[in-house]
Structure 1
Amino acid sequence: MSREAGGVPGAPPILVLMGSTASGKTDLAAALARRFPLELISVDAAQVYRGMDIGTAKPSREFLARYPHHLIDIRDPSDTYSAAEFVADAGRLIQEIRLRGRIPMLVGGAMFYFHVLEYGLSSLPAADLSVRDALSREMAERGVEALHGMLKSLDPATAARIDAHDTQRVQRALEIHRLTGRPPSELMRAARGQSGVTAKFALFCPDRAILHRRIRDRFGAMLDEGLVEEVAAIASSLEDPDSVPAMRTVGYRQVLEMLQEKTGTAEMTERAVAATRQLAKRQLTWLRQQRGLVWVQGDGNGRVLDAISGYLAHHPGCALP
Structure 2
Amino acid sequence: MSEQLPVINLMGPTASGKTALACELYERGGFELISVDSALVYKDMDIGTAKPTKDEQALFPHHLIDIISPLEVYSAAQFVDDACVLIDDIHQRGKTPILVGGTMLYFKALLEGLSTNLPGADATVRAEIEAKAEQEGWEAVYAELCAVDVLAGEKFKVSDRQRIIRALEVYKLTGQPITKLQAEQPKNVPYRYTFHNHALLPDRLELHKRIEKRLEIMWKIGFLNEVEDLIKKYDLNENLPSMRAVGYRQVLEFLYNGDRSLKKIQEMEDKALFATRQLAKRQYTWLRSLQESHNFQTYLTIKQAQEDLRNCYG
Deviation at 1:139, TM superposition (A): 2.0
Per-residue displacement from partner, 1:146-188 (whole Å, max 9, x unpaired)?
756887974479648xx947x5554123323564324389549
Task: Give the 3 Å change call, closer, same or farther, for CA 247–132 of structure 1 in structure 2.
Answer: closer
Structure 1 residues 149 and 283: CA distance shift in structure 2, 3 A? farther
Partners of 1:14 and 1:104 within 8 A in 2:
yes
Letter matched to residue 109 of structure 1: G
Number of the residue aligned with 2:118: 124
* Cα distance change, pair 87–22 in 1 and its aligned pair in 2 (3 A): same
Partner Cα distance (1:299, 1:26) in 2: 14
Is it true that 1:296 corresponds to 2:293 in the alignment? Answer: no
Paired residue for 1:316?
none
Instruction: Please list the CA deviations of residues 64-99 of structure 1 after superposition, one character each: whole Å capped at 9, or x if unmatched.
Output: 111111000111112222222212211110000000
Alpha-carbon distance in 1 for matches of 2:145, 2:300 = 32
SS of the equivalent of 1:250 reads coil
1:137 maps to which of 119, 131, 137: 131
Structure 1 residue 283 displacement after superposition: 1.0
Whichever residue aligns with residue 113 of structure 1, its letter is Y
Deviation at 1:276, TM superposition (A): 0.8
Amino acid in structure 2 at the alignment position of 1:132: R
Does structure 1 residue 96 correspond to structure 2 residue 97?
Answer: no
1:278 aligns to 2:271 (yes or no) = no
8 Å CA contact 2:15, 2:210 repeated in 1: yes
Using a 3 Å threshold, how does the CA distance of structure 1 residues 306 and 94 change in structure 2: closer, same or farther? same
Query: Superposed, which structure 2 residues align to 1:235-246 within 5 Å?
Result: 235-246=231-242
Q: Report the AA paired with residue 296 of structure 2.
A: V
What is the alpha-carbon root mean square deviation over aligned residues?
3.0
1:268 to 2:264 alignment: no
Structure 2 distance, partners of 1:194, 1:47, is 24
> Are the aligned partners of 1:50 and 1:73 in contact in 2 as well (CA < 8 Å)?
yes
C-alpha separation in 1, matches of 2:54 and 2:183 = 39
Aligned residue number for residue 36 of structure 2: 43
Q: Does 1:220 align with 2:221?
A: no
**AA at the equivalent of 1:100:** R
Structure 2: segments with no counterpart, 5+ residues: none
Structure 1 segments, 4+ long, off by >6 Å, are: 148-153
TM-score by length of 2: 0.84
How far apart are the structure 1 equivalents of 2:224 and 2:139?
Answer: 26
Pair 1:234–1:127, CA change in 2 (3 A):
closer
Q: Which residue of 2 aligns with 1:209?
A: 205
| Cα pair 1:94 1:104 within 8 Å, conserved | yes
* Alignment correspondent of 1:307: 308
Displacement of 1:143 after TM fit? Answer: 4.0
Match of 2:249 among 247, 253, 257: 253
Aligned length: 301
SS at match of 1:97: helix
Question: What is the aligned counterpart of 1:25 among 8, 14, 18?
Answer: 18
How far did 1:107 drift? Answer: 0.6
Deviation (angstroms), 1:296: 2.5
Task: Using the TM superposition, name which of 31-40 and 276-285 deviates more.
Answer: 31-40
Contact 1:120–1:188, Cα closer than 8 Å, also in 2: no
Aligned letter for 2:199? A
CA distance in 2, matches of 1:282, 1:129: 27
Contact 1:23 1:298 in 2 (8 A): no
Q: Whole-Å Cα distance in 1 between the matches of residues 109 and 72 of structure 2? A: 21
Q: Which moved more, 1:49-58 or 1:191-200?
A: 191-200
Are residue 54 (structure 1) and residue 35 (structure 2) matched? Answer: no
1:36 deviation in Å?
A: 4.8
Q: Which amino acid in 2 is paired with 1:55?
A: G
Q: Taking every aligned residue pair, what percent have the same amino acid on both sides?
A: 40
Q: CA deviation at 1:189?
A: 9.2
More deviation, 167-176/19-28: 167-176
Aligned residues of 2:114 and 2:188 also touching (Cα < 8 A): yes
Q: Does 1:233 align with 2:234?
A: no
* Distance in 2 between residues matched to 1:276 and 1:214, nearest whole Å: 11
- Provide the C-alpha distance between the structure 2 equivalents of 1:244 and 1:266, rounded to a whole number of angstroms: 24
Structure 1: which 5+ residue stretches go unaligned?
Answer: 1-6, 313-319
Q: Which residue of 2 aligns with 1:317?
A: none
